[in-house]
Structure 1
């Protein structure tokens, strides 16, 4: 029920800054039913009957609001408190990006916090609030690493993904007639990121070809409560959504990964000590950033980009090929950063893919004080300590920002001055694309590198091929792309 217009001023030093709100303040619709039956019903709808996006959209329709209260899985069994306020439009979602208003301590995966036994007994930077001292030190370490290795990201990408495309060619030409892009991409990304950052290709060490598999196994228990595998419901509820999977099942894989980083990242660990971090603890942080953030992120993002481009068809392929080849030719045939920056359509395609299918779909935060949160149509009051949830695909497909085609892939959406203005609402990195990560916020430290790698994937592909076809499906972390045909470019760069 609306309570009229409000001017809310707070003098308590622990409360929110003064807020002037011109929208009607309404009671947040929905309620968090405490009964076990109600919570189980919500779980079944979230995991099995509706799945994520339909689950949230059906409740937007039912409440007539993009802001509402809900019991959020994986509670009630794994989480002490599964009650959240959902923020599902572009305007209200922005509160979750403002660390002056929300606490980010232990909320990366929402109502479930993985055991620290999976990360060497330490809380990782992703689970730290910026107010915690180690947050700034670890994030600065990542900034230093990216800056020190900036000249390696393009040439090392080219060498590693050349191997991917050679394998893809052979697989498509084989009796099976198709190539599993995801599998090839996992191997290429794992070697690429580690070699570019640390100068040592993992497949050339004791890890051999096991790196991507070990990394995927270690990632699994940290995100298992949020996923389904297609097993019988009773088994999934018992083994995935009720209790944490035993950390000991994954310790051998983690130790093998740790040994690689302990050796390959020695200069980065030297820098960590200069920043005041314990060397061994810093190694756990570097491993987490490389595997959870980078490998896990690219594992979702690159098939998402490639799959959307596959579905777009030959017309877009022709436009991308022309733009990419012209820009590279202008640089004397070299793939340089200057050449990549000229590719406006290519950049737009990557932004559009990250808008539609962000690699991290959820954002959480706890209100640091009593807040007034505005959607497009109304304002709502939340109390200090309440958990706030944003499901990013709803916020980044907001029709009041992106128009009636908000759910569609529009390759040139971000081309031109009008398109660039929309980048403020592309928030896949836990911050607007128009802003930059700092040690004092939670925006992805490798934001620009992710966008660069997405563009390099298209650059390397369309320097070799004119067009392609693929079967695109859905898997746990996003898209599954099986390439079924390739048309080689007449002249390759």
Structure 2
């Protein structure tokens, strides 16, 4: 049997080593690992404890949710900056139906279609759908800044109103509401409030997201015993019919408002119906679901960064905006500290924790210290929050360092993987990198820019939610 060296390996590969770890007894091993992951250790400690136990960042373990929701929960985990990029090489790994991991939600959640995120680039429909989405992004590129500024202005009104009346303001629901309205405006050229969706669009999508991601979640409710939650969330798929009406309400509104986009889809060889469900998945899952994590995480780290960081950001942003005569894309490119802050937030708290891929052939993959044989058909799993905190790449990897990517620090961007690809790469119709990768960075920068055009400093209190961090504003000091 011959093994081909993976693209993540260097010419001088480390010595071969047997992959440590085990899957335990059939069925019971998967249950034990699942309980460890969700309840006894939590995700970070689950992997860190095994790195220490096996003295390896590559090992075998059962991945949640198994064993009922997944055909096979057995994976080889890759947890460092050297081994992780094998997951981006679609000539070596298959990405079919692995978007959410070892299980795939029913297509009843997406109008009966396997949407682009679940397709491997080798499937003919992938290039058509991804190319269509990339063309949409190119079409709305010039509208990003004015549309975002129009939507975010209401966010600040809501924050200030709640802070004034309650003494604190919960950022997450206000941000979610703004994110949904922004995306609807961007792709439908119309406010969601002017449709039958009204102000409930993001709430409908929240339920739709929860029912698909429940096998990977823990609610953390004190009154609900762990054994009961495990039975409810991780044993059987949640039914799509419970959230169908809310999904269809958003779908119908988007389908009607985004008519010109769907006409363009038909010219590219897609049916109108399949295109509309793919637009909604891209808008509701990839984009809205991503911003639910990105914006709170960003404001968490900026908010707790202190007055000195706030002063430096405000000085940079206001100086560039004055020179440019307004907020412009060219101006954003000049804001080096703001960009560094955004990249650092994406590094330390990536919006997607996992990447998966099934080996298309026998491979040899390498960590920093050893190489390992992977057999054709084995599932690889990467947990990003550890891989992008690799201490052999990043100094003080667990700390938020605002200046990390300034100057020569930009060379480290190739180790930032939040988009299912390197930050130095770009999405194409033939790869699996997030099509909105560049839009996410732009909008995250815009969020910071808009804050410091209005405020000199602010203070926040942070916590955790089902998806990402919670942020509560305790004070906002208006710009002088």
Q: What TM-score do the two structures reach when normalised by structure 2?
A: 0.97
Whole-angstrom CA distance in 2 between matches of 1:152 and 1:476: 32
User: Aligned to 1:376, which of 368, 379, 400?
Assistant: 368
Q: Is the 8 A contact 1:372 1:379 kept in 2?
A: yes
Q: Is the 8 A contact 1:8 1:18 kept in 2?
A: no
Q: Is the 8 A contact 2:4 2:363 kept in 1?
A: no
Q: Is the 8 A contact 1:16 1:370 kept in 2?
A: no
User: Aligned to 1:400, which of 392, 403, 406?
Assistant: 392
Hey, what does 2:103 align to over in structure 1? 112
Whole-angstrom CA distance in 2 between matches of 1:22 and 1:386: 21
Q: Give the Å deviation of 1:234.
A: 2.3
Hey, what does 2:323 align to over in structure 1? 330
1:459-492 Cα offsets, whole Å, 9 max, x none, are 00000000001111111111100101010001xx
Q: Give the Å deviation of 1:20.
A: 5.9
Whole-angstrom CA distance in 1 between matches of 2:4 and 2:164: 68
Whole-angstrom CA distance in 2 between matches of 1:193 and 1:37: 44
Matched position secondary structure for 2:199: helix
Hey, what does 2:359 align to over in structure 1? 367
Whole-angstrom CA distance in 2 between matches of 1:9 and 1:142: 36
User: Aligned to 2:267, which of 274, 298, 302?
Assistant: 274
1:6-28 Cα offsets, whole Å, 9 max, x none, are x96769xxx99999653211100
Matched position secondary structure for 1:286: helix
Whole-angstrom CA distance in 1 between matches of 2:296 and 2:167: 19
Q: Is residue 2:95 matched to residue 1:95?
A: no
Whole-angstrom CA distance in 2 between matches of 1:380 and 1:462: 48
Whole-angstrom CA distance in 2 between matches of 1:85 and 1:128: 21
Q: Give the Å deviation of 1:34.
A: 2.8
1:146-161 aligned at under 5 Å gives the runs 146-161=137-152
Q: Is the 8 A contact 2:87 2:356 kept in 1?
A: yes
User: Aligned to 2:294, which of 294, 301, 314?
Assistant: 301
Hey, what does 2:199 align to over in structure 1? 209
Hey, what does 1:136 align to over in structure 2? 127
1:446-468 Cα offsets, whole Å, 9 max, x none, are 11100000000000000000000
Q: Is residue 2:257 matched to residue 1:264?
A: yes
1:49-448 aligned at under 5 Å gives the runs 49-174=40-165, 176-230=166-220, 231-332=224-325, 334-403=326-395, 405-416=396-407, 418-448=408-438
- Change in Cα spacing, 1:22 to 1:161, as seen in structure 2 (3 Å) is closer
Hey, what does 2:467 align to over in structure 1? 477
1:29-48 aligned at under 5 Å gives the runs 29-48=20-39
Whole-angstrom CA distance in 2 between matches of 1:420 and 1:24: 31
Matched position secondary structure for 2:234: coil
Whole-angstrom CA distance in 1 between matches of 2:84 and 2:10: 17
- Change in Cα spacing, 1:298 to 1:10, as seen in structure 2 (3 Å) is closer
Whole-angstrom CA distance in 2 between matches of 1:283 and 1:205: 17
Q: What TM-score do the two structures reach when normalised by structure 1?
A: 0.94
Matched position secondary structure for 1:162: helix
Aligned length: 477
Whole-angstrom CA distance in 1 between matches of 2:10 and 2:443: 40
Q: Is the 8 A contact 2:8 2:83 kept in 1?
A: no
Q: Give the Å deviation of 1:39.
A: 2.4
Matched position secondary structure for 2:392: helix
Matched position secondary structure for 2:112: coil
Question: Which runs of at least 4 in structure 1 moved beyond 4 Å after TM superposition?
Answer: 7-11, 15-21
Q: Give the Å deviation of 1:36.
A: 3.4
Matched position secondary structure for 1:389: strand
1:176-233 Cα offsets, whole Å, 9 max, x none, are 2011111110011101112122201112211000001001111111110001012321
Whole-angstrom CA distance in 1 between matches of 2:298 and 2:11: 41
1:80-134 Cα offsets, whole Å, 9 max, x none, are 2110000000110010011111000001111111011111111011000001111
1:270-295 Cα offsets, whole Å, 9 max, x none, are 11111111111111111100000000
- Change in Cα spacing, 1:16 to 1:434, as seen in structure 2 (3 Å) is closer
Matched position secondary structure for 1:385: coil
Q: Is the 8 A contact 1:141 1:272 kept in 2?
A: yes
Whole-angstrom CA distance in 2 between matches of 1:185 and 1:393: 23
Instruction: State the Cα RMSD in Å.
Output: 1.8
- Change in Cα spacing, 1:136 to 1:181, as seen in structure 2 (3 Å) is same
Gaps of at least 5 residues in structure 1 are: 1-6
